[in-house]
Amino acid sequence: MTVITIDKDICTGCQECTKVCPVFAIEGNPHEAQKIVEERCVNCGQCVQKCKSYISLIDHGAEIYAQKRAERHLPETVTEPLFAAYNVCHLEEVIEALKSPKFTMIMAAPAVRVALAEDFGMPLGSLTPGKMAAAMRRIGFKRVYDTNWSADLTIMEEGTELVKRVTGGGTLPMFTSCCPAWIKYMEDQHPSLTKHLSTCRSPQQMSGPMFKTYGAKLNKVDPKDIFVVSVMPCTAKQFECSRPEMNASGQRDVDVVITTRELAYLIKYCGIDFNALPDEKFDMPLGDYTGAATIFGVTGGVMEAAIRTGYTLITGKELSDKDVDITPVRSTEGFRTADIRVGDLTLKVGILTYLKNIDPIIEKLEAGTLDLHFIEVMSCPEGCVSGGGQPKLVLDADVPEAYKNRRDATFAHDKNLPKRKSHENPAIKKVYEDFLKEPCGEQSHHLLHTTYKGSGGHH
């Protein structure tokens, strides 16, 4: 599936994109159109963020602009410059589904709510979950849910899996599995090492089958009539939802993925004044979430969320309010490690930011010298807040401030939520009681876990 494209008519060969590509998947001579090597591309979209070659209505005229816009299946309301590197847009499918009798459900990832408002002139990193929920409702979605809910679900599954591996002699270190660009990299480049990946699906791919099974029951709808749209800061998520094994619900689990940018296009296409919207809540129960879920959007966040719950799974005790901020795992440097005391156990963890930094880690893993229990990997420079699908930062000078503000807003959101550990989410407790029974149990394994190329199946 093609996700990222470089338009040879627009590309000037400045090679800004080649500098940011973490897997050296972009080739070409200087001052000539660049080309993406699909076999190496992990769909992270950093080239889309960095690209500087564009056409605009003003500089190139309405005819050429309209032709390019149509080629990209963008709504006619889009008038901003069109850059050479871009991700394939799926808004037409969303608009068709909204017109159809389908029961449409939409969800948004943690990082979307700290960036979406930038496309409506608000300051970088503005936190707007309430306006986002209201906008989705005005667009016409029948249910406005939240990927944060399934981020909490992911922690229950992943935390349980980690404890089982650490205490039961499973494959260690275990790597996180919520970043699809990282998964594709491992499958393409190091298939023999995929046994180290958590078998947990990403929060997006846990949401899909839950919406089409548990959610279908709650809403008294036939799963075949449900159309699930996912809004992501990430272009690789478009590839992930199309993977053939992502059909645990009996249908395609997530029908379409759009980016944060494309949600902004859709809001404008529908003529909605985003800034004037009131704050509204997500639909319950599949929109309830804790602080642990929202920090999934920043590098180190999945690790921190997992430790907050892992502590309870291992010790049977709760982390106190003063200990819930696990600052040793918070940072944006390339690779860092920390030793976290969890009862009698010292949990050795690693956090890797930006796939450019992966080679030394893989070398240690192959040599058997990577003495860690659990490693988080995020392909983008500062995790999902810096994803390829986020609002485009045209001026390089804005990038550090945008990343910092999105990060700060994420941590502020976590601090201000009434519950900050995934296992405290009442909607998560209820889904296990009524439907899943237990983390990593039979039902969970069928709906919420997956296999990888080269891994030889589940662990």
Instruction: With beta carbons less than 8 A apart as the criterion, state whether 137 and 432 touch.
Output: no
**178 part of the active site:** yes
Q: Is 195 a catalytic residue?
A: no
Q: Is 96 a catalytic residue?
A: no
Q: Give catalytic status of residue 384 as yes or no.
A: yes
Q: Which of 126, 150, 177, 198 is catalytic?
A: 198
Neighbours of 77 (CB within 10 A): 13
Of 32, 38, 92, 245, the catalytic one is: 245
Half-sphere exposure of 379 (CA within 13 A, CB side): 28
Residue 191: left (phi > 0), alpha (psi -120 to 50), or beta?
alpha
Identified catalytic residue from 118, 240, 382, 424: 240
In this structure, the dihedral spanned by the alpha carbons of residues 5, 10, 12 and 13, taken in order and rounded to 10 degrees, is 10
What are residue 205's phi and psi, to 5 degrees? -80, -10
Reply yes or no on whether 158 is catalytic. yes
Sign of CA dihedral 17, 19, 22, 26: positive
**Cβ neighbourhood burial of 102 (10 Å; 0-12, 13-18, 19+):** middle
In this structure, the number of other CB atoms found within 10 A of the CB of residue 88 comes to: 14
Q: How many CB atoms lie within 10 A of CB 336?
A: 17
Query: Among the options 21, 41, 47, 161, which is catalytic?
Result: 161
Q: Which structure tokens are listed for 401? A: 């401030």
| Catalytic residue chosen out of the listed positions 384, 386, 392, 444 | 384
Catalytic pick from 50, 68, 237, 392?
237
Tokens coding 421: 């550990």
Spatial contact of 102 and 372, defined as CB atoms under 8 Å apart = no
Q: Which of 17, 44, 178, 380 is catalytic?
A: 178
Instruction: Extract the tokens encoding 382.
Output: 């500062």
Is residue 39 annotated as part of the catalytic site, yes or no? no
- Give yes or no: 240 in active site: yes
- Catalytic: which of 158, 262, 304, 424? 158
Q: Catalytic annotation on 161?
A: yes
**Catalytic site positions:** 158, 161, 178, 198, 237, 240, 245, 384
